[in-house]
Amino acid sequence: MSILKTKNLSFTYPQISSVHHATINDISFSLDSGETIGIIGHTGSGKSTLLQTLNGLIKPDSGMVFLNEKDLWENPKEIYQKRFKVGLVFQYPEYQLFEETAYKDIAYGPKNMGLSDEEIDLRINEYSALLGITEDNLNKSPFELSGGEKRRVALAGILAMEPDVLVLDEPTAGLDPIGRTMLFNAIKEYQIKTNAGVIIVSHSMEDLSKMCDKLLVLSGGEIKKFGSVKDVFLDSAELNNLGLDVPMVTRVMLELKAKGLDIRSDIFTVDEAAKEILNFFSQSL
């Protein structure tokens, strides 16, 4: 079932002259419960702008957003409540922590939802554990935490609102491989528990191929392609035209194939590649 849908969504920042094209133009797509969509596009292609229309931070100039089949803007006075249901984790969210302690920062959203202190405490414990935030760190000022720890606190604050849709703007940018894996595992676990829909913007094709069911390619604020990960990555020529690339491991497989190895090249993760190469060698022995 579609949990979030956009129909012909367009928006231009007011200060941009109308001579320029719209910041996002005629965007229509649909996200199901439990599904993960990755958004890729060159810098300035409108990814962050699109994300902000999905939870009502930006009101589109035209077109509609549907949450659980209902118009997000049906009653503009309720838009604040809608933001609890579509949890948006900003690009570099660690710069938005502001409370005295990490605990209070995570509690901020749930408190605004009007949850009891008891329920808030339960949720903070649950999501801190999920993200590996220690008791000690919960009592520290967010400013005393490392970049990766701050990022986890910011995500815990959104998960603690238990949104139906989780929207993540470059969640792993700047994190080391262990930090990335930990964050992705937490997102996956949350999704399995709640059946939430997830939207992720990332410049890492590897991360997206691991996490996503579908990919949406944005260029100049317009959808250039929307389909399964496989469909999008198989069209590497079109991606290259847009200044984007297939995952590194896919390039390796394509080159091995070009060198005459009889292997599949429709492979987008390192795990799949390892299996395919082992399979190739075991057959050629």
Ligand X SMILES: Nc1ncnc2c1ncn2[C@@H]1O[C@H](COP(=O)(O)OP(=O)(O)OP(=O)(O)O)[C@@H](O)[C@H]1O
Give the binding site for Mg ion (CB under 5 A): 47-48
Contact between 45 and ligand X per CB under 6 A:
yes
Q: Choose the contact partner of 15 out of Mg ion, ligand X, none; CB within 5 to 8 A by kind.
A: ligand X
Q: How far is the CB of 240 from ligand X (least distance, A)?
A: 18
Q: Compute the distance between CA of residue 104 and CA of residue 239 in angstroms, rounded to an integer.
A: 43
CA count, 13 A, side-chain hemisphere, 29 = 25
Count of residues interacting with ligand X (CB under 6 A)? 13
The one-character DSSP state at 196 is -
Q: Compute the distance between CA of residue 178 and CA of residue 26 in angstroms, rounded to an integer.
A: 38
Sites for ligand X among residues 49-88 (CB under 6 A) = 49
Q: Choose the contact partner of 13 out of ligand X, Mg ion, none; CB within 5 to 8 A by kind.
A: ligand X
Contact between 18 and ligand X per CB under 6 A:
no
Out of 5, 47, 83, 123, name the contact with ligand X by CB under 6 A. Answer: 47
Q: How far is the CB of 203 from Mg ion (least distance, A)?
A: 10
Out of 48, 125, 181, 195, name the contact with ligand X by CB under 6 A. Answer: 48
Q: How far is the CB of 39 from ligand X (least distance, A)?
A: 8
Sites for ligand X among residues 140-199 (CB under 6 A) = none
Out of 1, 8, 44, 78, name the contact with ligand X by CB under 6 A. Answer: 44
Pairing of strands 165-169, 197-201: parallel
**Residues 6 or more apart whose Cβ sits within 8 Å of residue 11:** 22, 23, 24, 49, 53, 58, 59, 60, 61
CB atoms within 10 A of CB 270: 15
Contact between 23 and ligand X per CB under 6 A:
yes
Q: Compute the distance between CA of residue 150 and CA of residue 133 in angstroms, rounded to an integer.
A: 10
Under the phi-then-psi rule, with left for phi > 0, alpha for psi from -120 to 50, and beta for the rest, what region is 108? alpha
Q: How far is CA 248 from CA 84, 91, 255, 270, in A?
A: 37, 24, 11, 9
Q: Choose the contact partner of 46 out of ligand X, Mg ion, none; CB within 5 to 8 A by kind.
A: ligand X
Q: Is 71 exposed, middle or buried (0-12, 13-18, 19+ CB in 10 A)?
A: exposed
Contact between 16 and ligand X per CB under 6 A:
yes
Q: How far is CA 278 from CA 32, 39, 247, in A?
A: 35, 32, 20
Contact between 15 and ligand X per CB under 6 A:
yes
Pick 10 or 91: Cβ nearer ligand X: 91
Out of 25, 29, 35, 41, name the contact with ligand X by CB under 6 A. Answer: 41
Out of 17, 18, 43, 282, name the contact with ligand X by CB under 6 A. Answer: 43
Q: Compute the distance between CA of residue 99 and CA of residue 101 in angstroms, rounded to an integer.
A: 6
Out of 46, 56, 60, 109, name the contact with ligand X by CB under 6 A. Answer: 46
Q: How far is the CB of 56 from ligand X (least distance, A)?
A: 16
Binding residues vs ligand X (CB under 6 A): 13, 15-16, 23, 41, 43-49, 91
